[in-house]
Structure 1
Amino acid sequence: MGNSQTWLRLRSTRHVKYWCAYHFVWIPKYRRDILIGDVAEYTKEVLRGIITGIGCEPLAIEVMPDHVHVLLLCPPRLAPSYVANYLKGKSARLILKRFPQLRARVKYGKLWSRSYFVATVGNVTADIVKRYVEEQWSKVRE
C-alpha cells in the first residue's frame, strides 16, 4: 500500500511522532477452511475499512482459507489488544451478516477463535533516530 518510502515515514499527531506497526494473526473457530472466494475478498474489504475507521493504516492484509494476517500502523494511544479485539468483533458481525450461511459452520455464531497472535514490527534504526534528533535541532535554530 504505497511504495516502501511512503510507508516507512514517521507518522504524527499533534503531540507525538510515531511508527508503531503490529502484525496480527487469528483463525476462524475450529480453524475451519471457510475464508475462501467471496468471503475472503469481503473479509479483506471489511478489515481495511475497520482499520482506517479507527485511525490506523493497513500495510498488508492476507486472508487464507483458515487464518488471517494483518499488518498495520497504529497510533500509540491504541493498545494492540484493543485493536485485535475490535477488528475481530466488528469484522465477525459484518461477515456473518453478509454470509449468514457461515453460521452453520461455526459454533454458537462465533466466527473467530478467542485467541490471536500479535508481534510488534520494528523499524526504528539508528539513522531514523539520528534524523529525528537533527530535525529537532533545526527547529530550535529557526
Structure 2
Amino acid sequence: MTKEKIKDAIYTRRYIYNFHYHLIWVTKYRNQTFTTEVLSNEMKAILQQVADDNDIVIEKMEVMPDHIHMLISFPPSKAPASAIKALKGRSAYIFLQNHPEIRCSQYWGGHLWSPSYHMSTLGNMSKEVVEKYINDEKYTETNKKPHKGAQWWPIHPMTKVTGFPANIN
C-alpha cells in the first residue's frame, strides 16, 4: 500500500511540510529603485541566492520598482522572522555593495528596505490564487495611475478594500 502525496507539500528526510507564505516588503521611502529590467533581474538573482543559502524555497517572485512580492516556503525548523531577516538583510547588503551610486543617491542611511513587511500564510486560499496575484501585480503596477492629489496606500492585496483613501494632510 502506498501513501498518497500531499499536494504542494515539501518532502524532506526529517519531515513533510506545507507552509506557504505570501511576503511583501517595500524599499525605504518607497523609492523607485528597480526601474530597469537589469536592476530587477539582479535583485531576483540576489534573493534567489540568499534563499538557497538559507533553506528557503521561492515559489514565485516579482520585483516591482518599489516593492517585492514573494511566495515562499521554508522548513518548520526556521522561524518566519529569521527567514525575513535573511532575505531583506543580506539582499540589501549585496545590492548596495554592487551599486554604491544608488546607495549615495537614494539610501544615504544605508538601508535599502523599509523595516516593515507584510507576511501571511495562505490558509485555505489556494497557492495558485496567490501565484496569479503576484504574476498579475507585475502588469497592473505599471498601469496604476492614482487620481490627482490622491495618496496611494499599500494594503493587503487579498482584501476587497480600495487602495485610494481620502487625501490625508
TM-score class normalised by the smaller sequence: 0.7 to 0.9
Structure 2 counterpart of 1:117: 118
- Cα distance, 1:122 vs. partner? 3.0
Percent identity for Structure 1 against Structure 2:
34
Segments of structure 1 that go 5 or more residues without pairing to the other structure are 1-7, 126-142
Name the CA distance, whole Å, in 1 between partners of 2:50 and 2:84: 11
Q: Which amino acid aligns with 1:56?
A: I
Tell me the SS of whatever aligns to 1:39: helix
SS at structure 1 position matched to 2:116: coil
Distance 1:80 1:88 in 2: 12
CA distance in 2, matches of 1:14, 1:59: 20
More helix by share: 1
Match of 2:30 in 1: 31
CA distance in 2, matches of 1:124, 1:29: 30
Alignment size in residue pairs: 118
| TM-score under structure 2 length normalisation | 0.65
9-18 or 103-112, which moves further after superposition?
Answer: 9-18
Query: Aligned partners of 1:10, 1:113: CA distance in 2, in Å?
Result: 31
Query: 4+ runs of 1 displaced by more than 4 Å?
Result: none
Alignment of 1:1-142 (within 5 A): 8-37=7-36, 38-103=38-103, 104-122=105-123
Would the alpha carbon gap of residues 15 and 124 (structure 1) be closer, same or farther in structure 2, given more than 3 Å must change?
Answer: farther
**C-alpha root-mean-square deviation of aligned residues, in Å?**
1.8
Distance 1:28 1:124 in 2: 27
> Higher relative CO (CA 8 A, sep ≥ 6), structure 1 or 2?
1
Measure how far apart 1:83 and its partner are: 0.7
Q: Structure 2 CA distance, aligned partners of 1:102 and 1:78? A: 32
Q: 1:123 & 1:14 partners in 2: Cα distance?
A: 26
Preserved contact between residue 21 and residue 119 of structure 2 (Cα < 8 Å): yes
Distance in 2, matches of 1:124 and 1:16, equals 23
Distance in 2 between the 1:82 and 1:100 partners? Answer: 27
Q: Scaled by the length of structure 1, what TM-score is found?
A: 0.76
After superposition, the C-alpha distances for 1:78-119 in whole angstroms (9 at most, x for unaligned) are 111111111000000110011111112113111111111101
